[in-house]
Amino acid sequence: MKRIFKSIAIITLLLTASNIANAQKHNFELIKNNNIFNSILKELSLFYVDSIDAEKIITKGINSMLYSLDPYTTYIPKSEEQDLKFMTTGEYAGVGALISQRDTLIQITSIYEGNPAQIDGMKAGDRILEINGESMIGKDNSYVSDHLRGKANTLAVIKVMRPMVDSIVTLNVTRKKIYIPAVSYYGATRDDVGYIYISSFNTNTASEVKSALLDLKKNHNIKSLVIDLRSNPGGLLNEAIGVINLFVPKGKTILETRGRHKELETVYKTSQAPVDTEIPLAILIDDESASASEIVAGAFQDLDRAVIVGNRSFGKGLVQSTRPLPYDGTLKLTTAKYYIPSGRLIQAIDYSQRGKDGSTTRIPDSLTTEFKTAAGRIVRDGGGITPDVEYKYPKQSNILYYLTIDYHIFDYATEYAAKHSVIAPANEFSLTDEEYEEFKERLKARDFKYDRESLKLLEKLKEVAEFEGYTDVAGETIATLEKQLQHNLDKDLEEFKKEIKSQLEMDIIERYYYKKGVMSRSVEEDECINQAIEILKDSTQYKQILSPKK
């Protein structure tokens, strides 16, 4: 026994010495490279041919260093602390409008209902010329956004160029504290099915979902529920667990986080009494559902508590924390990975494994591992959440894509709103055939052009045929095909009338009824939602999906 204990002591001493040596080597490397960096900066400052902007190049260096780790580890200077606060709370002080760059001006693209922009007369389509006497012509999005924001109850005098109005419009907009709800919309659909759309996970998400759920149960007597997490980028982990807790009994393990340090390893369990553990649930996800959204969808799937409908989610299984830095900066860094109830990690990219050019790739399905849900269904790790029922979205037509990015639909909606003081309710509004014809004539008058993928491929074919010497043989056939594939605007506008008209109506509805109106209309027309509703209506199918395959 003495020999065994002596051997163990020797091994322990060797391991301790090895660890100390490794730590010393690591510390030496840090000190060495820090000194090199400081020396380079000093030499640049003293001898570079032109004067350098130290803050600019150091910030760029910091950002490059952090991005080499993963895209979620970032430096947030004091000047951007409001963005961090908005991401976590959904709050900021400003006017309540979305903007985008259009040529040399910034355009208002959307207005938040009930906020200063709406109350004080801003309209979608307005192009900002001046804020508080300073020209905004040629300024970028972030610059104009900074000037629209400010302390609550301060005045922003905004001069805009408004379509359909000859003179410049001056608006006196009083900034207020803006809160963007996490639950953008909820309501009851046909057949007693409730619907809740969650756009983010901020400090109030769980309480907003609870309020919506209680209202739907009390005032609409819903029998099942669709929770929509599509395009939800995530947010606060505790809020995701709070949402799950509404539908899962107290004491259930939802998540484990594992990091480099023991103190970062945490087991998260439901801690409150649930609202409803029996109501049938369908969760909608897509490839933009990430992080906290995937925690919710993944936990419901692993606990066999809901049917997941849609497309495979983004695949972010990393947890970020914030650390204070000198001069009021903040470091947001990845500190842990999270594992959902089945034990799987859904991270889709291993950022430690990069190509020589720094590129990353998703973990192939062949390298993923099987896990089992509480009921014994097979699920896999390493690539986001795979839905129980996949929905195949119809491909958007090429013409609609160009009508959208070239602002033809946006501008038509802007002009329509200027000509019509009121329209029918969101769920009833429809453009007439005459109005659609008017839209078509408007496009022709503006000489609307758009790319056709078939013509692009034909050009490639012509190049290859010429290279391989087939021009003489196939030239006439290619010329005939080229003639047949030429633009026929009238034909395409009729062939894709349904989806173009639907998008026009949505843009017009937003001018009058804002995001809630658009969501109300979308719930009726969205085929992915309809697919989820059909599953919830069929109790046999619902139970079958949540049962292990025999």
- What is the 3-state secondary structure of 271-313? CCCCCCCCCCEEEEECCCCCCHHHHHHHHHHHCCCCEEEECCC
Is 153's pLDDT higher than 60?
Answer: yes
Structural domain boundaries enclosing 495: 398-450+487-534
Is 131's pLDDT higher than 90?
Answer: yes
Tell me the mean pLDDT in the region 545-550. Answer: 91
Does residue 224 form part of some domain?
Answer: yes
- Residue 485 — pLDDT band, cuts 50, 70, 90? low
Nearest to 534 by CA among 330, 292, 280, 326: 280
| Weakest mean pLDDT among 27-41, 447-461, 505-519 | 447-461
pLDDT of residue 12: 55
Q: Contact at 8 Å (CB) between 225 and 193?
A: yes
DSSP assignment of 360-426 = --BPPGGG--EEE-TT--EEE-SSSPPPSEE--PPPPPHHHHHHHHTTHHHHHHHHHHHH-S----T
Tell me the mean pLDDT in the region 117-144. Answer: 96
pLDDT of residue 260: 85
Is 24's pLDDT higher than 80?
Answer: no
Tell me the average pLDDT of the chain: 90
Write out pLDDT tens, residues 173-227: 999 999 999 999 999 987 899 999 999 999 999 999 999 999 999 999 999 999 9
Query: Per residue, what are the HEC states of 418-448?
Result: HHCCCCCCCCCCCCCHHHHHHHHHHHHHCCC
**Annotated active-site positions, please?**
291, 302, 316
Tell me the mean pLDDT in the region 246-270. Answer: 92
pLDDT of residue 28: 80
Is 1's pLDDT higher than 60?
Answer: no
CA distance 274 to 251: 10
Q: How far is CA 533 from the centre of its chain?
A: 24
Does residue 70 form part of some domain?
Answer: no
Tell me the mean pLDDT in the region 376-398. Answer: 94
Please check whether residues 461 and 416 belong to one and the same domain.
no
Tell me the mean pLDDT in the region 157-175. Answer: 94
Does residue 68 form part of some domain?
Answer: no
Does residue 72 form part of some domain?
Answer: no
Please check whether residues 146 and 188 belong to one and the same domain.
no
Tell me the mean pLDDT in the region 273-301. Answer: 98
Please check whether residues 285 and 235 belong to one and the same domain.
yes
- Residue 271 — pLDDT band, cuts 50, 70, 90? very high
CATH of the domain at 103: 2.30.42.10
Q: Contact at 8 Å (CB) between 101 and 141?
A: yes
Write out pLDDT tens, residues 370-379: 999 999 999 9
CA distance 228 to 333: 28
Last residue of a domain, one of 179, 195, 214: 179
CA distance 377 to 374: 7
Tell me the mean pLDDT in the region 24-36. Answer: 80
Nearest to 536 by CA among 524, 526, 546, 521: 546
Q: Which one is predicted more confidently, 202 or 16?
A: 202
pLDDT of residue 3: 58
Write out pLDDT tens, residues 31-55: 888 888 889 888 888 888 898 888 8
Is 94's pLDDT higher than 90?
Answer: yes
DSSP category for residue 153: T
pLDDT of residue 482: 64
pLDDT of residue 6: 55
pLDDT of residue 264: 74
Please check whether residues 329 and 428 belong to one and the same domain.
no
Interacting residues of 433 by C-beta distance below 8 A, sequence separation 6+: none
Question: What are the residues facing 255 on neighbouring strands?
Answer: 268
Does residue 57 form part of some domain?
Answer: no
Please check whether residues 159 and 104 belong to one and the same domain.
yes
Q: How far is CA 90 from CA 108, 199, 221, in A?
A: 20, 11, 30
* Count of domains observed in the chain: 4
pLDDT of residue 201: 96
| Weakest mean pLDDT among 317-331, 370-384, 422-436 | 317-331
Is 22's pLDDT higher than 70?
Answer: no
Please check whether residues 419 and 529 belong to one and the same domain.
yes
Please check whether residues 133 and 117 belong to one and the same domain.
yes
Please check whether residues 381 and 465 belong to one and the same domain.
no
Does residue 439 form part of some domain?
Answer: yes
pLDDT of residue 463: 78
| Weakest mean pLDDT among 6-15, 295-304, 400-409, 510-519 | 6-15
Tell me the mean pLDDT in the region 236-242. Answer: 96
